[in-house]
Amino acid sequence: DIPEGWEVVRLGNLFREVAETGNDNLPILSVSIHRGVSNDEIAEEDMERKVSRSEDKSKYVIVRPDDLTYNMMRAWQGGFGAVQVLGMVSPAYVVARPISTERQVTQFIELMLRTQNAVTEMKRHSKGVTDFRLRLYWDEFKTICVALPPRSEQKAILSEIKRITDEFDALSTTATSAISLLQERRAALISAAVTGKIDLRPHFAQSLSEPESA
């Protein structure tokens, strides 16, 4: 069942596949299974895995804001995302461009595709004999269906998600800072104790004077 006012739509009715040839003036964007599409070019030394890049940027494909791009081999693992800036991605990625922006917000589609049901569907539509050989081709991807609310509701949902996640991030930052401060104080206390900067003899005397329990 889907909420009232929502509709079930094939991705092929929302997006079309495109393949614009890249050029030297655009940044090469990364696509993470955890963070989606980056907004700027990431240096190789800052990446989790070393990725060799071709000097010939015409081998890359252009992505534009509101595009949806995915790695054919890792889509079912989360290797996709909504594009927010003009750039390029590896030719190993499929680029899906909105047929119209009147029905959907691409960032909402990305979040829908990260739900467990959508992940299961992407894996089911992928072709290959084993998991590491699975590939999700455009002809299969475009047949996947998603439940879509009106565009205004999509934007409202995205706004509320951002508000909540911003609160979580703020709490996480505060907790991390508190843990770091406690760790620093613990280290300082140990250092002061073992170097004699804190006189612990009164504590020794008190401990020695206390009778041992039977």
132, 182: one domain: no
Residue in 18, 21, 39 with CA at minimum distance from that of residue 86? 39
What's this model's pTM, rounded to 2 decimal places? Answer: 0.77
d(CA 85, CA 67): 9
Query: Which domain range does residue 203 map to?
Result: 166-209
Tokens representing residue 178 in the block: 């508190």
Q: For 74-120, how does the pLDDT look when each residue is reduced to its tens digit (9 = 90+)?
A: 999 999 999 999 999 999 899 999 999 889 999 999 999 999 999 99
Cα torsion angle, 68, 74, 77, 79, sign: negative
94, 54: one domain: yes
25, 81: one domain: yes
179, 137: one domain: no
Q: What is the CATH number of the domain that holds 18?
A: 3.90.220.20
Q: For 164-209, how does the pLDDT look when each residue is reduced to its tens digit (9 = 90+)?
A: 999 999 999 999 999 999 999 989 888 888 787 887 777 666 665 6
5 within domain boundaries: no
190, 120: one domain: no
